[in-house]
Structure formats: C-alpha cells, structure tokens
Amino acid sequence: MSKKDIHKIDNYLIRVGIIWIFFLFCYGACGGNGLGYLMLSCADPDERLFVVTQGGRTETFTSDATLSEIYEQSPGAEVEIFTPDSVEPIFEGVNPLWVWTPWLLLFIGFSIRREEDKVIEVWNALERTGEIGISELSNNTGHPRDFLLKAVHIINAHSEQRYHVDERHSIIHRISSDDLLFYIEKCNNCGASVASQIRLSKIKPATCPYCQFALITDEMVEHAYEVNRFKAPQKEPEKPFSAIIFMLLITCFPPFGIAYAVYKTGLLKRL
C-alpha cells in the first residue's frame, strides 16, 4: 500500500510553523531579558530574579531571599534584582502578526492533516476491498455517507486507481478494465423489462426485481471476458501548488500565504 499525501500543503504549513516558532524562541531567549522573563513567569509570586556575577561567573536564578541574604551567600558579588514589573515581555515591541502567525499555520496545517487522514482511511479501505457497500464502509470507518461520497471524489483526483459510486445499489467499487458491463433488455426467466446497463458485482449480484432470477448468467460473463472491456476514464490533472509562491507570500504578508495554502487544498469546497 503506497504512501498517500493528498494535499501536501499541510506539510509546508506545519514545517514553516515549527521553524517560525523555533526562531521566535531563539529571539526571545537571546534578546534582552527574554530568558529572565520566562523564569519569572514560572516563579512563585513572591520570588524575584537575581543575576549574580562573581569572579567572572554569572548565575541567574529566582528566589524569595532578601538582598542581604544573597550577599551573605556570595560575598563581594555584583547582584542585579528584577521583578516581573521591571522586565519587559519577551516580544515587547514585536508586531503581534509575527507572533501569532506560526500558531495559525500549525492550527490550519494540522486541521488539513486531520481531514486528510480521514480520507486516507477511506482510501485504504477501498484499496483492501476493491468493492464494498456504502453502509459497511460507513460502519468500518465511522464516517457518514455524505463524507464517504466526498472522499471518493477527492481520492479520484489524486489516485491512479479510480473508484465509482453506484448510487442505485449503494456500492463503491474500483474502476478497472476487468469490470464487465451488460445491457439487459429483459429478464430471461419471466420476460420482465429491465432496459438498463448493469455491472457485474462481486458482492451484490443483479437480479430481476420481479422473479429474483439472475440477470447476468455465467455464459454472458464468459463471452464478455473475450469481447467487452470497460475503459477507465482519464484522471483530471491536479491543480499545482507552488511552494515558491507560498514561501514568498508567507514571508512578505502571512495572511495571503495562509489563504493561498487553504485555497489550494480545495478543502473548503470539498469537505
């Protein structure tokens, strides 16, 4: 079973979001009192931040000790004291857009991946069975009928192997050159008019609605294997996603980059 990656855009969104957050963390930790602000944020309300320099060695810690107690512990040291009010927040002066954008990228990326995983679950089930009733597939995957029909549409847009939804018999089956189609004019047993094209099904054989006699006989199947083959329709080309355009947009104006990624998934229209 091949690895499936339907949208691919979720990979870009998640990776860019993680890298972005990493650089934000580095900026906050290395610039100004970012590390001290983090330490004070995790400390008890009555604790202060001490930066003690002695003999070329600097130690930073939080404590509820008094200044005299710190001097007793480190005689002759240079001591700086910081309180939560005296330390600027890590991203003070940074445009909020640059702070919140990576989290939005992760949220959208994982949302797309969650929907993608549902479709892949259906895809895997169809690959295993080749033909399955919609109700059985719904029970196996836990997804409603409407979602399954939309999932088949998405799978057909990304898979070399296409699938067809037989609404009349509530079956989803693989389209293959081995599929056999028969035009049945009337029932050979009771003579009732049928006048419809019927596919040879492995799980639900076609029968006459009046006498329940099999409409497709073994002789018809043997003859059809020699002269009748069903040709699968060609797959429509997938709309391309440009990583270059995405990176330019997300760098210059993040909202446009996010909008471009979501639009290219087609998720808003199909799910």
Average pLDDT, the chain: 76
Q: Do 148 and 134 contact (CB within 8 A), yes or no?
A: yes
Runs of H (alpha helix) within the chain: 9-30, 34-42, 67-73, 96-129, 134-141, 145-158, 218-227, 243-252, 254-265, 267-270
pLDDT bracket for residue 29 (50, 70, 90): low
Is residue 49 included in any domain, yes or no? yes
pLDDT, position 4: 78
Q: What whole-number distance in Å separates Cα of residue 36 and Cα of residue 58?
A: 13
Rounded Cα gap, residues 131 and 35, in angstroms: 59
Task: Name residues whose C-beta falls within 8 Å of residue 80's C-beta, 6 or more positions apart in sequence.
Answer: 50, 51, 52, 53
Q: Are 199 and 180 in contact (CB under 8 A)?
A: yes
Percentage of the chain modeled with pLDDT above 90: 17
Of the residues 29, 56, 82, the one at which a domain ends? 82
Is residue 259 one of the residues assigned to a domain? no
| Residues 104-151 pLDDT 10s | 999 999 998 999 999 999 999 998 888 888 998 999 999 999 999 999
Tally of structural domains, the chain: 2
Dihedral class, residue 180 (left if φ above 0, else alpha if ψ from -120 to 50, else beta): beta
Residue 67 lies in a domain: yes
Mapping DSSP to helix (H, G, I), strand (E, B) and coil, where does residue 51 land? strand
What does the pLDDT read at residue 220?
Answer: 63
pLDDT of residue 176: 62
Q: Which residue has the tokens 């931040």?
A: 49
Find the domain containing 21 and state its range: 9-82
Quote the pLDDT of residue 270: 46
Examine the pLDDT at 154 and tell me if it is beyond 80.
yes
User: How many angstroms separate the CA atoms of 48 and 61, rounded?
Assistant: 8
Strand partners of residue 133: 171
Q: What's the rounded Cα separation, in Å, for the pair 258 and 105?
A: 7
The 10s digit of each residue's pLDDT in 176-232 is 645 555 557 777 778 777 766 666 666 666 777 778 777 666 666 565 555 544 444
Whether the pLDDT of residue 43 is over 80: the answer is no
Question: Residues with Cβ < 8 Å from 97, sequence gap 6 or more?
Answer: 254
Q: What is the pLDDT of residue 231?
A: 44
What residues contact 196, with CB distance under 8 A and at least 6 apart? Answer: 183, 184
Residue 221 lies in a domain: yes
- pLDDT given at position 162: 84
pLDDT of residue 200: 60
Mode of pairing for the β-strands spanning 48-54 and 57-63:
antiparallel
Q: Domain for residue 55, yes or no?
A: yes
Alpha carbons 147 and 3: distance in angstroms, whole number: 22
Highest mean pLDDT among 83-87, 136-140, 241-245: 136-140
In a domain, 195, yes or no: yes
Picking from 179, 158, 163, the residue whose alpha carbon sits closest to that of residue 126 is 163
